[in-house]
Structure 1
Amino acid sequence: MMSSSSLAAEGWTAVAVACGTFFGLGLVAVGYGTVKHASRDERPGLGPALLARLPAHWTTRRVVVAVFAGALSGALTAWPVAAVLTSVALLTLPGLLGPDRQAARRTAQTEALATWTEMLRDTLSAAAGLEQAILATSDIAPAPLESELRRMAAAIRAGGSLPSALRTFAEEVDNPLADVVVAALVMAAEQQSGQLAPLLSELAESAREQVAIRQRVDAGRASVRTGVRVTVTVTLSMAVGLVIFNRSYLDPFDTLTGQAVLAVVGLLFVASFTYLTAIGRLEEPIRLVTPSSPGAGSGGAR
C-alpha cells in the first residue's frame, strides 16, 4: 500500500498540474485579447476596458512563454503558487528591471522639441513666414520628431490648413510640451502675432529645464533599478539553488500552510515592485490638445 506521504505528494502534483493548466489557459486568453483588441470593433463593457489597460508589451509570444514557464515550474516543484508567481514574474519583471525605454524616449522627444523650437525661432528671425519656417525646419528635423514633422510638412504642401496640420502634429507627438508649442504657433497663424520669436525662446528654455529634470530623475531611478536587480537576482538564484541542490530544505512548502506563506511572500514582492514603479513615475502635465475620438477628423475642435 502507498504511504500517506506518497498520496499527499501525488495529490499536490495533481493540484499543481490542474492549477497550472487553468491559469495557463486564462493567461493565453488574456494575451490573445491584448494583442487583438485593437483590431476589433469597439464594444462597451468591462472586458474590453480591462484588456485596453493591459501593457502593450504583453505580446502573444511573451504570454505563451510565461504560461509555459509557469506550468513547468509548477510541475517541477508541485507548488501551484510557484506556477502563478513564475508566470507573473516573466510578464512584469523584464519591464521593471530592464532599461526604461519609455522614459528615455520621452526625454529624447522633449529635447528634440526644444531643438525644433529653437530652429523655428532662428528661421523666423531671418524674416521667413511661419509656414515657410515650418517647411524649412521639417527637412532638418531632429531624429525623434522626424517622421511627425515630415508628415506635417507633407500635409501643408498638399494644401491643408496650417492650424489643422499643427493640431495633428500635436496629437501624433503626444507630449504636453508639444501642445504648448502648437498652441503658440496656431495663435500666431490665426492672429498674426508679432511676438512669436521671444515666446519660442521661452518655450525652448522651459523644455531644456524639463530635460535636465528628467535626466536627474532617470539617474536616480537607475540606481534604484540596479538595487532591485541585485535583490531579485540573489533571491531567485538562492531559490533555484535550493530546489536543485537541497530540495528537502523546502519540504515545508509542500503543505497547504507552506503554499499560503509562499503566496504572502510573492504578494509582498508584488507590492514592493508596484511601489517602486509608482514613486519613479513622472506625472505628466495636463494636455492642451486632447486626442480626437475614434473616427473623428484630425482637425476637429479642441
Structure 2
Amino acid sequence: MARLPPEWTARRVLIAVTSGALVGGLTGWPVAALLTVLAVLTLPGLLVPDRQAARRTDRMRALATWTEMLRDTLSAAAGLEQTVLATADIAPASLAPETRRLADAVRSGRPLPVALRAFAEEADDPLADVVVAALVMAVEQQGSQLAPLLGELADSVREQVAVRQRIDAGRASVRTGVRVTVSVTLAMALGLLVFNRPYLDPFNTLTGQLVLAATGLLFTASFAYMSAISRLDEPVRLIGPPAADLLAEGEAR
C-alpha cells in the first residue's frame, strides 16, 4: 500500500477488487473484471468535485484578505509585531488556525522572524511564503515601504485567485464531460446485459476479450489525458523543509 498513490486507500482497493470480482462473476469476462478494478481506483478522481482545489482557492483568498489586514493595520502606525497580534484573531476562517498559532508563538517570546517562518511551514503555500519573506525582510532589514508592498502582494494574490477560478471552471467542464461519457457507457453496458444479453455473446471468445481490452485501453488513455490537461502544477515554494533545517541549524549555533 505504501507504494500506491495516496488516494488509493485500503478501503478503495478493497471496494475495487470486490467490484471487479462481482463483474467478472456476472459476465465471465476477466478483462471486464480488470477494467472494473482500474475504473473504481482511478475514476473517482475525475468524477467527484475537486475539493482540494476548492480549499486551495479559499486559502488563497483568505491569505489575500489577511495581507490586506496587515497592510491597513500597519498603516495605522502600529509596529509589525503588534500588527501580527492584532490581525491573528480576526483572520479569515480558512487561515485562522495558522495565524492564531503564529500569535501564540510571538506572545510566548519567540522571535518574530522565527515565528513567521514556522507559520509559512505550517501554511504550506507558495503564496504564503512570498508574504512571509516580505515580512521577514522588513523585520531583519528595517524596511520602510512594507505597507505598499503588502498591498501589491494582496493585489497579486487576488489576481491569482481570479485566474485559478477560471482554471477551476475549465476543469469542471472536463469533469462534466467525463461524467457524461462514463454514465452513457455504463448505462448502455448495463442495458445490454439486462435486456439483450445475446448481443454481447461475441465477447465470450478470446477475440472478443482482446477487443474489449483494446476498447478499455482507449478509454483509459482518454481519461488519463483528461486528467493530465486538468491538472494544475503548483509553483515552487520559497520557504520549505530545507529552509526550516537551515533555520534550526542557525538557532543551534
Instruction: Give the structure-2-normalised TM-score.
Output: 0.93
1:272 paired residue number: 222
1:126 paired residue number: 76
**Structure 2: how far apart are the matches of 1:297 and 1:77?**
60
Matched, 1:285 2:232: no
Q: Does structure 2 conserve the Cα–Cα contact (< 8 Å) formed by 1:124 and 1:130? A: yes
Q: Does structure 2 conserve the Cα–Cα contact (< 8 Å) formed by 1:118 and 1:200? A: yes
Unaligned runs of 5+ in 1: 1-32, 35-49
1:247 paired residue number: 197
**Structure 2: how far apart are the matches of 1:256 and 1:298?**
63
Change over 3 Å in CA distance of 1:113–1:228 after alignment to 2: same
**Structure 2: how far apart are the matches of 1:91 and 1:189?**
49
Question: AA paired with 1:109?
Answer: R
Deviations 1:193-235 (A, max 9, x none): 1110010000000001001101111112222221221111000
Aligned residue runs from structure 1 range 195-214, under 5 A: 195-214=145-164
CA shift at 1:137, angstroms?
0.9
Overall identity of the aligned pairs, in %: 70
Q: Does structure 1 conserve the Cα–Cα contact (< 8 Å) formed by 2:46 and 2:178? A: no
Q: Does structure 2 conserve the Cα–Cα contact (< 8 Å) formed by 1:134 and 1:153? A: yes
SS in 2 for 1:58: coil
Q: Does structure 2 conserve the Cα–Cα contact (< 8 Å) formed by 1:292 and 1:300? A: no
Q: Does structure 1 conserve the Cα–Cα contact (< 8 Å) formed by 2:61 and 2:161? A: yes
| Alignment partner of 2:19 out of 58, 69, 86 | 69
Question: AA paired with 2:231?
Answer: R
1:102 paired residue number: 52
1:232 paired residue number: 182
Aligned residue runs from structure 1 range 69-218, under 5 A: 69-218=19-168
Question: AA paired with 1:249?
Answer: Y
Unaligned runs of 5+ in 2: none
CA shift at 1:246, angstroms?
1.5
**Structure 2: how far apart are the matches of 1:127 and 1:299?**
32
Deviations 1:128-157 (A, max 9, x none): 111111111110111111111112212222
| Alignment partner of 2:8 out of 58, 75, 81 | 58
SS in 2 for 1:84: helix
Question: AA paired with 1:84?
Answer: L
Q: Which runs of 4+ in 1 moved over 4 A?
A: 296-301
C-alpha RMSD of the superposition: 1.9
**Structure 1: how far apart are the matches of 2:29 and 2:11?**
24
**How many aligned positions are there?**
250
Q: Does structure 2 conserve the Cα–Cα contact (< 8 Å) formed by 1:114 and 1:207? A: yes
CA shift at 1:291, angstroms?
2.6
Deviations 1:244-293 (A, max 9, x none): 22221111111122112111111111111111111122222221112359
**Structure 2: how far apart are the matches of 1:175 and 1:223?**
26
CA shift at 1:116, angstroms?
0.5
CA shift at 1:242, angstroms?
1.1
Question: AA paired with 1:280?
Answer: S
